[in-house]
Chains A and B, each alone.
Chain A
């Protein structure tokens, strides 16, 4: 009987120990995995943008420009515009001089900003849901949904780790890759009007939004 009780006590303690060990182990793994994790980084950046967008003080029209600049600053930190500009040009990129390449990166960045800055004004408490990430070496894909007025829009981010920092170099919204879409768009211009024509078109496009409408 006594032996039974000791045995039983032992089982009880062992099971508690196992449980504690498991908790400790899982917890340890979590901290080590998330330290430089692509999804954690993306989440942090997106959350920082959401804080600005949700801030009631910044919503007043007098601070509209400040709000825009704050968001742009964070966005600039998240994207690898050099990489994006290069792949959106395809083969044409290699035929350019370094100066032309630099100038094009700037233009491309403005073009992207123009498309997504419009979204800032229409921001209406959309939520972001993070589903999963797939990591392979220095590349990662992060699957998310934006929930907008009950509609779920799937967005997949493609990131590359550069100097310990994960930078977005493409994203797929409803299966449509941003870079591929710009590449097709640029190709059609280059085919008719060469690279110079493309630069003119983008410059005009950017000026269009700078004139108040």
Chain B
């Protein structure tokens, strides 16, 4: 008899506990809604319309930014415009005459699955840099995610060819880099630069690229510069093969492609820094 009583009380307790847990998780989700948007657990919770409808009013943190935040990205100074336009033109021709044909041949040889794996491999090499930059920006959680991602993907993901951490554990990269860290500490873009071969950048992100170079594990293999250049080229060709058509569509439907790309770069980077 006593047995059945305790059993029933236990069941009730489980019910109550699960209610509390669901409620608690929900409140937690609402609290961190904006900070960790799209992150692991929450992504699932927030796909259902009813939760979002409720969070809509209660967690509107950047209320003032509703209108202004969207249009905030400022235009960047461009004192080098004539030179930048020259290099933009050069890179554009490089894309159509070299990169695109090569990427086409490459994607004819390499099956898509393999190209995705190659992309993952290069992406995985950026993890240490992302980890360091997350930490420099005080994002301890992102730091641990990046470290976990790097360790798991380099081992279970076989040298980073698979994104095990994302596919199995839903651990997503924070996409941080040194340019963003400099931005986080208040350095603006200063002015726009188009590098030949490398494409759109600015003073801050060019400095950042140097930092990123030192944070890439490739530096430890102490390879000849030809090898490093070869790896970089493979990365570029591989990425291009996965995004064929995007560049063309964007630049060919812009009225002044140089201006459209400059603004897209500026908005893209500002968005990344704010995140």
Contact = CB atoms under 8 A, between A and B. Distances in A.
A139 B263 CA distance: 25
A131 interface: yes
Interface residues of B, number: 55
Contacts, number: 150
A91 interface: no
Contacts of A33: 49-50, 53-54
Interface string A125-155: 0000111111110011001010001110010
Range class of the A interface residue count: 35 or more
Given A176-B267, A185-B255, A189-B255, A122 B116 contact: no
Interface in B217-265: 242-243, 245, 249-250, 253-256, 259-260, 262-264
Contacts of B163: 150
B267 A177 contact: yes
A52 interface: no
A18 B14 CA distance: 13
Nearest to A43: B49
Main secondary structure of the interface of B (DSSP, over half): helix
A149 B116 contact: yes
Contacts of A5: 1, 4
B73 A180 contact: yes
A186 interface: yes
Contact of A11 (B12, B46, B272): B12
A106 interface: no
A12 B11 contact: yes
Given A30-B49, A139-B66, A177-B267, A185 B8 contact: no
Interface stretch (A55-63, A65-73, A75-83, A111-119): A111-119
A163 B35 CA distance: 33
A5 B19 CA distance: 25
Given A4-B5, A149-B242, A130 B47 contact: yes
A161 interface: no
Interface string A6-31: 01100110110011001000100110
Interface of B: 1, 4-5, 8-9, 11-12, 15, 19, 33, 37-38, 43, 46-57, 60, 63, 66, 70-71, 73, 75, 112, 116, 119, 163, 242-243, 245, 249-250, 253-256, 259-260, 262-264, 267-268, 270-272
The 4 closest A-B CB pairs, nearest first, are A175-B271, A135-B56, A132-B46, A115-B253
21 contacts: A8-B4, A8-B9, A11-B9, A15-B15, A39-B52, A114-B253, A115-B253, A129-B47, A132-B33, A132-B52, A134-B52, A136-B56, A139-B66, A140-B56, A149-B112, A150-B119, A174-B268, A180-B263, A181-B267, A184-B260, A185-B254
